[in-house]
Amino acid sequence: MSTTFVFVHGAFGSPAELAPTAPYLESKGHRVVNVDLPCERPDATLDDYANTVGREMEGASGPRILVAHSAGGATIPLVASRIAVDRLVFAAAVVPMPGQSIFEVVGPATQAAIMSVSIDNYDGTRSFDCDLLASLAPPEQREAYLAFLRATQRKQGMRALNQPWPGAGIPDVARSYILCTEDQIIPPERQRAFAASLGVAPIEIASEHSVFAAKPQELAGILDSLAG
C-alpha cells in the first residue's frame, strides 16, 4: 500500500535539504509531502510549526509517516498528538522533553557549535555563516559545500528553539530512530540516548548530519522498509 511520508526539516533548514530523498520514495509508489515550516519568522512557535504540518497533511489518505530531521523532531510529536499518524521517524533528530527547549535538549556542545557558526540578524533570527562553515570542509569539497549551504539553509527564528517544549510527551504511536554515525552536529552518542528515550534500537546509517542530501537512496530504502 502506498504510504504518505511527511518530511519536516530542522532549524536553519528548508525543504530543499530534504528533497533529494523524495524521488527514491516516489519511485517505490509512495507520496512525499515536504513541509515548509515558517522558521524564518522570529515570532513563530512550535505550535505554529505543528499547525503548518497539519495543514499540509490535509487530504492525505492511507498510512501516514512523519519523518523529522534535526530540530524537526520537536514538531512531529505535537502533530501526532492532534492528527492520526502511523509512525514517527526521527532522522538525526532531537527527541523533545516536556518543558525543555530544543537548545536544552541537544546539550551545551551542540548549542555552542550552532552559535559559533551562526550570526545574529538582530531581528529575532540567526543565520549560518556559510563561508565559515564551508571553510571547515576539506579543500576539495569547499566549493560544493558552500553551494549546498546557500541552496538549502536560511535564517532561523530563535523563539521556536528557545521556548519550553509544549507537548505532554511522545504520543503512543510506532516510532523509529535513524542514527547518523558520522554526524558532527548532533553527536552519535546523543542520538543513541534519544533512541533509548523512545524505547527503540536505532537504525544506523553511515552519514553526516544532512542525511537526506548525503545518503538519499539509502535513507529512502530505510523509510520504505518502515512503511512495511
Instruction: Give 92-135 pLDDT, tens digit per residue.
Output: 999 999 999 999 999 998 899 899 999 999 999 999 999 998 89
Overall average pLDDT of the 8-27 stretch: 97
Q: Is the pLDDT of residue 28 over 80?
A: yes
Q: Which amino acid is at 201?
A: A
Task: Give the C-alpha separation, 32 to 94, whole Å.
Answer: 22
Q: Is the pLDDT of residue 223 over 90?
A: yes
Per-residue pLDDT, 45: 98
Domains and CATH numbers, the chain: 4-227 (3.40.50.1820)
Q: Which amino acid is at 214?
A: A
Overall average pLDDT of the 159-184 stretch: 97
Q: Is the pLDDT of residue 1 over 80?
A: no
The average confidence (pLDDT) of the chain is 96
Task: Give the C-alpha separation, 153 to 71, whole Å.
Answer: 14
Q: Is the pLDDT of residue 225 over 80?
A: yes
Contact between 165 and 46 (Cβ < 8 Å):
yes
Per-residue pLDDT, 138: 87
String of DSSP letters for 168-213 = SS--SSEEEEEEETT-SSS-HHHHHHHHHHHTSPPEEE---S-HHH
What residues contact residue 228 under an 8 Å CB cut-off, 6+ apart?
A: none
Instruction: Give 76-100 pLDDT, tens digit per residue.
Output: 999 999 999 999 999 999 999 999 9
Task: Tell how strand 125-128 and strand 4-8 pair up.
Answer: unpaired
Per-residue pLDDT, 61: 79
At which residue does the C-alpha cell 527547549 appear?
Answer: 101
Which grid coordinates belong to 89? 521517524
Contact between 165 and 50 (Cβ < 8 Å):
no
Instruction: Give 179-219 pLDDT, tens digit per residue.
Output: 999 998 999 999 999 999 999 999 999 999 999 999 999 99
